[in-house]
């Protein structure tokens, strides 16, 4: 029906399953396929191991921190990348030991660091000189020796992606700039303070369809590690080249395969390290590429309206029962998606017509602009949006006081489990406080 990428690896629901899920849990509904998610992780692990022996993959839990998915990622052999105390609490609740997590953040709070230390965090990725001094103030002698510190570096590469998810360039709030000497000063300061400096990290951006920036980020942090050995005799035990591998939101997106990608990045690192005696564990922390394509969002069509349009002559709006609050990505990043009808009320025709899918929020709330849908789409039909397993559930809000959707997990045996329930009305009111004089 809709033209697909050459090798369409994205999970999609069949009509029978979609109808069953909608009946069981209502819509809008996030759905994640367990088999697909496990296979994505296995492929990535295999690809990385094949390219580099001493490799380690951390699941960037910000992409989807639903408890069950974090648990599955850990079960499959990933450590967990957390970017806040909240994400760390989720990982711990999923049964992941603190020493199998590492903590990111450009402005970590004392309480956040203390909580991580109390839970024997695997390593802390330090992001600023202020954080180094903060750590100096709170690390006990024992923690100073045992806590691994990794420095996040800004390698100064500009990736080809949306400006809002680009982080590797020099003008970034993240990490220590290599070119201006900050990274070297940070490393020296850690050594001077007796920190257990474990190695270096960079993450240059997200949804990268062109991997050149990651290749060059890997090369630059490896070269930096060599420089630190030559100048200060410091030998890095760990290098992490971040996440960022892109996925196929639409048929136009052609991300690089995991095997090819791992080979490319590893080659850049290996070339820089050759003959230097530095033999680090090499880490990656993918989020989107592990979980995005394993998930879909199921909506029910509520209103279909055709209006005059200056640009198009006529525009057909299809209003679904979700929107900006369950998928802010079109509004934030201009993201495009593949939208398909899954369960027609009546027999479907093959004829397609461009329609604009909008949400039910009190603003323009255009989700998917002029996207091909069956010409006989009807109120009550179910539509699925592919590739919503990353940065949808984790970025959902309660705007307009809509309950955030539930997430269902399709199990390996064909059954399904609710892994996150819809917000309840009680929950929504639970945070509200009416001062006595207003009561
Ligand atoms: N490591 C670090 C330090 C990161 O900042 C990120 C993503 C990742 C790993 C995982 O990157 P991935 O493999 O998922 O590309 N909300 C945006 C994405 C923000 C990404 C932030 N950092 C979106 O919806 O596109």
Q: Does residue 357 surpass a pLDDT of 80?
A: yes
Task: Tell me the pLDDT tens digit for each residue of 366-413.
Answer: 899 999 999 999 999 999 999 999 999 999 999 999 999 999 999 999
Instruction: Please give the residue range of the domain that contains residue 164.
Output: 52-286
pLDDT computed for residue 220 by the predictor = 96
Q: Taking residues 245-271, report their average pLDDT.
A: 96
User: Counting atoms of ligand 1 from 1, which one is nearest the CA of 335?
Assistant: 25
Do residues 281 and 297 share a domain? no
Q: Does residue 2 surpass a pLDDT of 60?
A: no
pLDDT computed for residue 343 by the predictor = 77
Domain count, the chain: 2
Do residues 221 and 323 share a domain? no
Task: Tell me the pLDDT tens digit for each residue of 409-428.
Answer: 999 999 999 999 999 999 99
Active-site residue flag, 362: yes
Q: State the pTM of this model.
A: 0.96
Q: Specify if 337 maps to a domain.
A: yes
Percent of the chain residues past pLDDT 90, beyond the cut: 91
Q: Specify if 40 maps to a domain.
A: no
The overall average pLDDT reported for the chain is 95
Task: Tell me the pLDDT tens digit for each residue of 303-337.
Answer: 999 999 999 999 999 999 999 999 999 999 999 99
- Under DSSP, the state recorded for 348 is P
Question: Using a 6 Å cutoff on CB, does residue 104 contact ligand 1?
Answer: yes
Do residues 249 and 392 share a domain? no
243 conformational bin, left if phi > 0, alpha if psi -120 to 50, beta if neither: beta
Q: Specify if 326 maps to a domain.
A: yes
Looking only at the bridges linking them, the beta strands covering 295-309 and 313-320 are antiparallel
Instruction: State the angle between helix axes of 85-93 and 67-75 in degrees (0 to 180), rounded to the nearest 10.
Output: 70
Do residues 146 and 166 share a domain? yes
Mutate to test the pocket of ligand 1, among 102, 203, 292 (most ligand atoms within 8 A of CB): 203
- Residue 384's DSSP bridge partners are 298, 340
Q: Specify if 38 maps to a domain.
A: no
Give the CB-side neighbour count of residue 162, counting CA atoms within 13 A.
Answer: 13
pLDDT computed for residue 402 by the predictor = 96
Q: Specify if 267 maps to a domain.
A: yes
Q: Taking residues 177-202, report their average pLDDT.
A: 97
∠ Cα 276 281 282 (to 5°): 95
Catalytic residue, candidates 101, 190, 262, 362: 362
Q: Does residue 157 surpass a pLDDT of 90?
A: no
Percent of the chain residues past pLDDT 70, beyond the cut: 96
CATH number of the domain within which 229 lies: 3.20.20.10
Do residues 239 and 119 share a domain? yes
Q: Specify if 191 maps to a domain.
A: yes
CA–CA separation, 103 and 108 (whole Å): 9
Do residues 174 and 250 share a domain? yes
Q: Does residue 168 surpass a pLDDT of 90?
A: no
User: Counting atoms of ligand 1 from 1, which one is nearest the CA of 288?
Assistant: 14
Question: Using a 6 Å cutoff on CB, does residue 391 contact ligand 1?
Answer: yes
Q: Specify if 30 maps to a domain.
A: no
> Ligand 1 atom 22: the closest Cα is on which residue?
206
Other Cβ atoms within 10 Å of 79 Cβ, number = 22
Q: Specify if 12 maps to a domain.
A: no
Question: Using a 6 Å cutoff on CB, does residue 287 contact ligand 1?
Answer: yes
């Amino acid at each position: 029906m809709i033209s697909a990428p050459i090798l369409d690896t994205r999970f999609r629901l069949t009509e029978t399953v979609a109808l069953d899920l909608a009946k069981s849990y209502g819509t809008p509904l996030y759905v994640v396929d367990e088999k697909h998610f496990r296979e994505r992780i296995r492929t990535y692990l295999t690809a990385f191991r094949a390219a580099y022996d001493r490799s380690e993959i951390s699941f960037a839990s910000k992409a989807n921190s639903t408890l069950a998915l974090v648990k599955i990622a850990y079960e499959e052999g990933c450590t967990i990348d957390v970017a806040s105390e909240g994400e760390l609490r989720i990982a711990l609740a999923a049964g992941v030991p603190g020493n199998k997590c590492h903590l990111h953040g450009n402005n970590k709070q004392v309480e956040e660091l203390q909580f991580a230390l109390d839970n024997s965090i695997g390593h802390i990725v330090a992001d600023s000189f202020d954080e180094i001094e903060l750590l100096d103030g709170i690390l006990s002698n024992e923690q100073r020796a045992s806590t691994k510190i990794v420095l996040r570096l800004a390698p100064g590469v500009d990736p080809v992606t949306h400006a809002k998810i680009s982080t590797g360039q020099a003008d970034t709030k993240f990490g220590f700039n290599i070119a201006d000497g900050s990274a070297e000063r940070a490393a020296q300061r850690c050594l001077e303070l007796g920190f257990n400096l474990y190695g270096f990290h960079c993450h240059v951006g997200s949804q990268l369809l062109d991997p050149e920036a990651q290749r060059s980020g890997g090369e630059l942090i490896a070269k930096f590690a060599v420089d630190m050995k030559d100048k200060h005799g410091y030998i890095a035990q760990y290098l992490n080249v971040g996440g960022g591998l892109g996925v196929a939101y639409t048929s136009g997106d052609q991300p690089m395969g995991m095997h090819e990608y791992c080979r490319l990045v590893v080659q850049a690192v290996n070339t820089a390290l050759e003959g230097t005696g530095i033999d680090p564990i090499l880490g990656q922390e993918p989020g989107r590429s592990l979980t995005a394509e394993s998930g879909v969002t199921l909506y029910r069509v509520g209103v279909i309206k055709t209006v005059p349009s200056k640009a198009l002559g006529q525009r057909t709006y299809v209003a679904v029962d979700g929107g900006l609050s369950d998928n802010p990505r079109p509004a934030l990043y201009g993201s495009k998606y593949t939208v398909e009808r899954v369960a027609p009320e009546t027999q479907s025709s093959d004829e397609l017509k461009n329609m604009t899918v909008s949400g039910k929020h009190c603003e323009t709330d255009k989700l998917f602009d002029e996207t091909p849908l069956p010409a006989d789409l009807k109120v009550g039909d179910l539509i699925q949006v592919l590739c919503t397993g990353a940065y949808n559930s984790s970025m959902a809000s309660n705007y307009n006081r809509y309950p955030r959707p539930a997430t269902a997990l399709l199990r390996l045996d064909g059954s399904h489990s609710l892994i996150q329930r819809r917000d309840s009305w009680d929950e929504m009111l639970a945070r509200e406080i009416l001062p006595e004089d207003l009561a």
